[in-house]
Amino acid sequence: MTGPILALDAAGPACSAALWREGRIAAHRRQPMQRGHAEALMPLVLDVLAAAGTGFPELRQVAVGVGPGSFTGIRIALATARGIALAAGLPVAGVDSFSAVAAALPDALRCGRSLLVAIDSKREAVFGQYYDPDLSPQGEALTLPPEALLARRPPGPLLIAGDAAALFPAPADARFAEGDQAVDATSIALLAAAGRALRAPRPLYLRAPDVTLP
């Protein structure tokens, strides 16, 4: 895939947008928030395009975070990405939150360790995905309380990352990634440019909605 790639995400406690071009992130904007994603996301996209000195006609792909995370945020990001892609005649690809967090971790930090990416669900159970040291997924994504997720850990040293990492006890032979572990559009853009961890642009919820029709 050649040409600029626009990436956006609203699955977590922030809206973010990034533009990849010629092997690097040319522009990036991020706005932490718990509510208001629908009003904030498109202005961030426009700001990123302006900062990169490009427009929708120059884009070659749109990449979007598909979750898991906030039900509302996932839908907002997907609707925005699909709208842009439809209007500009572009392909759109999804990237899951686990892959985006894992891709942002330094290689040296992961060296010789399995990885657990834990995403905050705002409930007792968290979303979790285990990876081998080479970032190959181990089994399916899980939705379990932190202690139950740790009970399924593979043998050997473990690294825990993601915005739910602080909810975990400190198990033996494990360490926690430092800094902001929330999903960001920069990782989504880089994965899309590399053709890695791409999936259909559909929501990845992993749990039933809190409100259902009678």
pLDDT value at 116 more than 90: yes
Query: For residues 6-23, b (16+ Cβ closer than 10 Å) or e, as one string?
Result: bbbbbbbbbbbbbbbbee
Query: At a CB cut-off of 8 Å and minimum separation 6, what does 11 contact?
Result: 65, 66, 67, 68, 69, 70, 73, 74, 77, 97, 183
DSSP code at position 153: P
Q: What is the CA radius of gyration of the chain?
A: 17
**DSSP H or E segment with residue 133:** none
Query: At a CB cut-off of 8 Å and minimum separation 6, what does 46 contact?
Result: none
Query: For residues 169-199, b (16+ Cβ closer than 10 Å) or e, as one string?
Result: eeeeebeebeeebbbbbbbbbbbbbeeebbe
Q: What is the mean pLDDT of residues 32-58?
A: 95
pLDDT value at 208 more than 70: no
For the CA atoms of 40, 165, 100, 212, what is the dihedral angle to 10 degrees?
Answer: -60
pTM: 0.93
pLDDT band at 211 (very low <50, low <70, confident <90, very high): very low
Q: What percent of the chain shows pLDDT beyond 70?
A: 96
Report how far residue 14's alpha carbon sits from residue 33's, in angstroms, rounded to the nearest whole number: 5
Q: What is the mean pLDDT of residues 147-171?
A: 94
What is the per-residue pLDDT for 207?
Answer: 75
Tokens coding 179: 């800094």
Q: Is 22 left (phi over 0), alpha (psi -120 to 50) or beta?
A: left
pLDDT value at 32 more than 50: yes
Written as one string, the DSSP assignment of 71-103 is HHHHHHHHHHHHHHHHHHT--EEEE-HHHHHHH
Domains and their CATH numbers in the chain = 5-97+182-199 (3.30.420.40), 105-176 (3.30.420)
Q: What is the mean pLDDT of residues 137-147?
A: 96
Backbone angles phi, psi at 84, to 5 degrees: -60, -45
Average of per-residue pLDDT values in the chain: 93
pLDDT value at 92 more than 80: yes
- Lowest-pLDDT range, 106-110, 117-121, 189-193? 106-110
3-state secondary structure of 14: strand
| pLDDT top residue among 208 and 141 | 141
pLDDT band at 172 (very low <50, low <70, confident <90, very high): confident
What is the per-residue pLDDT for 34?
Answer: 86
Report how far residue 34's alpha carbon sits from residue 124's, in angstroms, rounded to the nearest whole number: 18
Angle 187-191-196 (CA atoms, 0-180°, nearest 5)? 145
What is the per-residue pLDDT for 209?
Answer: 55
